[in-house]
Chain A
Amino acid sequence: MKKAIIMNIQKFCVHDGPGIRTTIFFKGCPLSCIWCHNPESQSFNKEIMFNYEKCNKCGECIKRCKSKALSIKKDNIHYDSSLCNFCENCIDFCINNARNLVGKLFSVSKLMKEIEKDMIFYEESGGGVTLSGGEAMEQIDFIKDLVKQCKHKGISVAIDTCGYTSFQNFENIFNYVDTFLYDIKLINSNKHKKYVGVYNELILKNLRKLSDKGANIHLRLPLIEPVNTSDDDIYNLLDYLKDINISKINLLPYHKIGSHKYKKLNIKYDFNSMKKPSDKRLEEIKSLFKNNNYNVKIGG
């Protein structure tokens, strides 16, 4: 049976597409944006997050761990992920709830059951399900079945994608998806490679093809200083978008709210090198898009 690894299912989402929605966060992403606020979404594997602030080093987790993945080192609880077999004992028996598992396997039918629970809200509000991540398109075999079933049940589907996938994958789901929430990070491919880890040609080409096919596209633009907020960045983007059909643009200013997660995953995060554009700059960028007749909004 096809299974997907899911990071989180969030009900009552009102910012990821029209109406009241359930957002499914698929785990695993082909990109590695340096500003990523969901670092736990990058790996395709299960991970254990550890909240050092809650831990009082009682050692219960070490006692309960069957695979010796946990130990005391330098007065701290040390976790060796290579030894961990995700028995979840350390989570169950942590009286401080300092540990939690990210990544659960779902079959299509099990996920559909979760999605259908909020059917009545989709119907009242014109909402539906949003497939997000990580990158949902990376688990395309699963997604294919899922979107078909959603369509069959009358549930509207939005896909939040970075666009870094073979266009054939978009072809396969095109008829079942109502809205594409399409992320564009940078128009300059070299800079894209530098900050995101890959070049952007595939992403831009897919966007154009989706537009040509008549997709309903909402563009989502993360704005991070000093990465992508210069006049050049914006003008080049506007130029590229000239003959692409975009129904809505969301400007998503950078924030550091995800930084605690890096600590919990024990990953270094250089958040001092990036910041949110000033409110003034955001308004300037907004009006640049507005002047080009885009329906643009700051925030999700």
Chain B
Amino acid sequence: MKRGFNERTKKLREESIKTQPFISIERAKLYTEAYKKYEGCVSTPILRALSFKYFMENRSLCINNGELIVGEKSEKPQGAPSFPELCCHTLKDFDVMDSREKISFKVSKDARKIQEDEIIPYWKDKSIRKKIFDYMSDDWIDCYENGIFTEFMEQRAPGHTVADGKIYKKGFLDFKKDIQREIDNLDYINDKDAYDKLNQLEAMKISCDAIIIYGKRYAKYARELAENETDEKRKKELLLIAKNCDIVPANSPKNYHQALQMYWFVHIGVTTELNIWDAFSPGRLDQHLIPFYRNDMEDGIINDKKARELLECLWIKFNNQPAPPKVGITLKESGTYTDFANINTGGITPDGFNGVNEVSYLILDTMDEMKLLQPSSNVQISRKTPKNFLKRACEISKKGWGQPAFYNTDAVIQEMLNASKSIEDAREGGVSGCVETGAFGKEAFILTGYLNIPKILEITLNNGYDKVSKKQLGIKTKDPREFKSFDELFEAFKKQLHHFIDIKIKGNNIIESIYSKHMPAPFMSTIISDCITKGKDYNAGGARYNTNYIQGVGIGTITDSLASIKYNIYDNNKFSLDELLKAIDDNFEGHRQILNIVKNKTPKYGNDNNYVDKIMKDIFDAFYLEVTDRPNIKGGKYRINMLPTTCHVYFGSVMTASANGRLAYKPTSEGISPEKGADTNGPTSVIKSASKMDHLKTGGTLLNQKFTPSVVSGDEGLENMASFIKAYFTMDGHHIQFNVIDKETLIDAQNNPDEYNDLIVRVAGYSDHFNNLDKALQDEIIQRTEQSF
């Protein structure tokens, strides 16, 4: 079925999802030309700004047939520009991207040739990636290569920021005036940084010109197309596009349509200036659009149909932009085309009122109709959110494709207050990427890398030695067989944790310094407070708030592993640590009795069992205390969050077996979810366990929950789903998302029963663990599940 509100969006969506992503070499080519022209003649910020301007002046324009919002990251949809100044791909990289089975990017012969002749010779010794690896210490490289942690900035620039409302109130001519005012006020007598500030501010001014030129070029191009257009209706639309581009981005938008076009130009600017993690996002789109929507409705120039059609056009624009191609470990930690633009809907207003408005519902309708992975759409649920809105969101979520995700606005705000943000900034903030908390338009909240927490236990159990890489990655904390108590083991784990966090942060500080010196982002800085007033770049601490995150992965796996050791060895003497370590070394082969005990007869996280949940809390606290409030180089602080993207699969692949019965090289647990199959007590127990973690001390946690369709069927089911979410949020849970258990899941469960101990199925008035049913009955249920869709 073709999805879309009308023929236009059906057609555009179809083109978007059917087009194969490809590498666009245009940006690399133009940036190389610009660098050759300007490098050495001007300061670094100005070099970056002039290159951005050169790109905006010379890049191809694209107006897809039928579309109403214009601008692509490359010359056409699904093109991924490359950023050789950050990561100069080798020809082999290109060949791998071109041919790999998943997340492939086609590379044309021309692109390959340009890469070979022009890009590689210029950039191969100059890229940021090269600089980073040159400066990293041996222990950092060892940890990085062997899966202790990942590094977000080794081939993508720091970003993780989101737009606030200022781009709907000011155009780039206005921003230029703000910048000029700061330049005029520079105090060269008393301010030792005045010259640096001048360069930063001049660079920002140039990037304003760049985006204005880009808009003007689109206005001209649309008029040219209109002139040759024979279809009268399309001719009018092209002229409307031209008119919109006359206004934005130079000036503030005057209506709803222009507001969307304004955002989209900014999005293209930010995501082609650098390949930032994650893309970029309009943040509280419903609240930004509502004044335009209401005005236009009053003036009769828009109706709900038109408003929805334009939202769908924006959704398709997002989906036209695959995430920058990744290679190596960074591909493994985030193997997806999704670029994590995450639109926050609902929540509360900066002055503290319920933020749900007419556009919020239009956004839900759009997300439901478009069913696209990009942009990710979430709903923000606060105490003030009307139940009707929550239920509408549940109605979409129970269709089972993971959107919208649900976020607890009240918790998100408290997390930000706990990180010393003002209440207004906190309320206008929200989440971006997966679940990361930040103050929109005012904060650089940088993810710096995933941390493999269960691997650190594995290394502790081997006296600092990594049996997979055969290297002494950790410190020597004693042969664990000599530990007299569980507490002694836990202390050793904490020492190892400290050791690895030190290595990670040392590396981070160098990497961030490299970016701040060599890779300023003057365009992005223009729209993030307070870069202009500070005269400082985003990458150097110009934002009002500067937070670095380290993301913990595998809390379920490590909790169950430590619980297994405490329960079976220290508390119940079921076997010795030596026996367990031998079983782990043998990947439990020939140790079925021990495997069965640790896997099936030991308390597990996710069952509302205080014995285990306390261990989870202790691990969380150790991680929290180790990281939180360490200073970063931007004058901000480190914080933690708990999310995995696809990194739990990679982290598991570099690990031996675990004390909880997880076999070698299998994925670790993800987010704050229990280990696969460990939660046998139903979903309420999972969220009770999960909420024993102090979410308010984090910058975001991620919880996946699955359910069978019958649980949420009918209006009662919807009410129960809403209550379930509210109960989790009352306990300060940060985020929850739902996956439906479909036929495929059940078939997989039939074939891999060990991984599905938690799967409960319900038919008529009776539930049972799926694993308990014999095959014929399982088949019957599989059949019924298919019927219910």
Contacts and interface: CB of A to CB of B under 8 A. Distances in A.
Interface of A: 10-15, 19-20, 37-38, 51, 53, 92-95, 97, 117-118, 120-121, 123-127, 220, 250, 252-253, 255-260, 263, 299-300
A124 B764 contact: no
A12 B683 contact: yes
A118 B681 CA distance: 12
A257 B760 CA distance: 13
Given A255-B763, A257-B768, 10 more contacts: A11-B682, A13-B767, A95-B593, A117-B688, A121-B723, A124-B723, A125-B727, A127-B723, A260-B772, A299-B765
B685 interface: yes
Contacts of A260: 772-774, 777
Contacts of A14: 711, 716-717, 720
Given A53-B775, A117-B608, A15 B762 contact: yes
A257 B723 contact: no
Contacts of A11: 681-685
Contacts of A15: 762, 765
Most buried by B among A12, A53, A300: A12
Nearest to A252: B765
Interface string B248-275: 0000000000000000000000000000
B730 interface: yes
Interface string B679-695: 00111110010000000
Contacts of B764: 252-253, 255, 257, 299-300
Given A11-B682, A93-B593, A120-B730, A19 B765 contact: no
Nearest to B574: A92
B745 to A, nearest CB: 18
Nearest to A11: B682
Contact of B724 (A125, A255, A299): A125
B399 interface: no
A125 B763 contact: no
A300 B765 contact: yes
25 contacts: A10-B682, A10-B767, A11-B681, A11-B683, A11-B685, A12-B711, A12-B724, A19-B719, A20-B720, A20-B723, A93-B593, A117-B608, A118-B688, A120-B730, A121-B727, A124-B724, A125-B719, A125-B720, A252-B765, A257-B777, A258-B766, A260-B772, A260-B773, A260-B777, A300-B764
Interface of B: 592-593, 595-597, 600-601, 608, 681-685, 688, 711, 716-717, 719-720, 723-724, 726-727, 730-731, 762-768, 772-775, 777, 780-781
3 A-B pairs with the lowest CB-CB distances in the bound complex, closest first: A125-B723, A300-B765, A124-B723
B773 A257 contact: yes
Contacts of B592: 95
B730 A124 contact: yes
A60 to B, nearest CB: 8
Contact of A124 (B727, B766, B777): B727
Nearest to A298: B764
Nearest to B775: A53
Nearest to B729: A124
Q: Which secondary structure dominates where chain B touches chain A? A: helix
B411 to A, nearest CB: 15
B695 to A, nearest CB: 15
Contacts of A53: 774-775
A271 to B, nearest CB: 11
B596 A121 contact: no
A242 to B, nearest CB: 26
A38 B768 CA distance: 11
A37 B765 CA distance: 10
A220 B774 CA distance: 28
Given A19-B723, A300-B764, A121 B717 contact: no
Contacts of B597: 92
Contacts of A250: 765
A218 B597 CA distance: 43
A95 B593 CA distance: 6
Contacts of B730: 120, 124
Contacts of B765: 15, 220, 250, 252, 299-300
Nearest to B593: A95
A299 B765 CA distance: 6
B593 A256 contact: no
A94 B599 CA distance: 13
Contacts of B601: 92
A257 B766 contact: yes
A197 to B, nearest CB: 20
A258 B774 CA distance: 10
Contacts of A12: 682-685, 711, 724
Nearest to A93: B593
A259 B762 contact: no
A259 B777 contact: yes
A256 B763 CA distance: 10
A135 B781 CA distance: 27
Contacts of B684: 11-12, 20, 118, 121
B774 A97 contact: no
Nearest to A38: B766
Contact of A20 (B724, B731, B767, B780): B724
B593 A120 contact: no
A117 B682 CA distance: 13
Nearest to A92: B601
Nearest to B610: A117
A220 B766 CA distance: 13
A11 B777 CA distance: 23
Most central of B684, B685, B726, B772 by chain A CB within 10 Å: B684
A97 B723 contact: no
A244 to B, nearest CB: 22
A123 B727 CA distance: 8
A258 to B, nearest CB: 7
Nearest to B597: A92
A14 B762 CA distance: 11
A14 B688 CA distance: 17
A127 B723 CA distance: 10
Nearest to A119: B727
A154 to B, nearest CB: 15
A20 B719 CA distance: 10
A175 B726 CA distance: 30
Nearest to B762: A15
A209 B509 CA distance: 77
Contacts of B762: 15
Contact of A121 (B719, B724, B767, B781): B724
Contact of B777 (A10, A118, A126, A256): A256
A260 B592 CA distance: 27
B723 A255 contact: no
Contacts of A220: 765
B265 to A, nearest CB: 44
A38 B685 CA distance: 24
User: Which of B762, B774, B777 has the largest count of A CB atoms less than 10 A from its CB?
Assistant: B774
Nearest to B600: A97
A299 B595 CA distance: 40
A117 B688 CA distance: 8
B277 to A, nearest CB: 36
Contacts of B717: 14
B722 to A, nearest CB: 8
B685 to A, nearest CB: 6
A53 B776 CA distance: 12
Nearest to B730: A120
Contacts of A118: 684-685, 688
B100 to A, nearest CB: 40
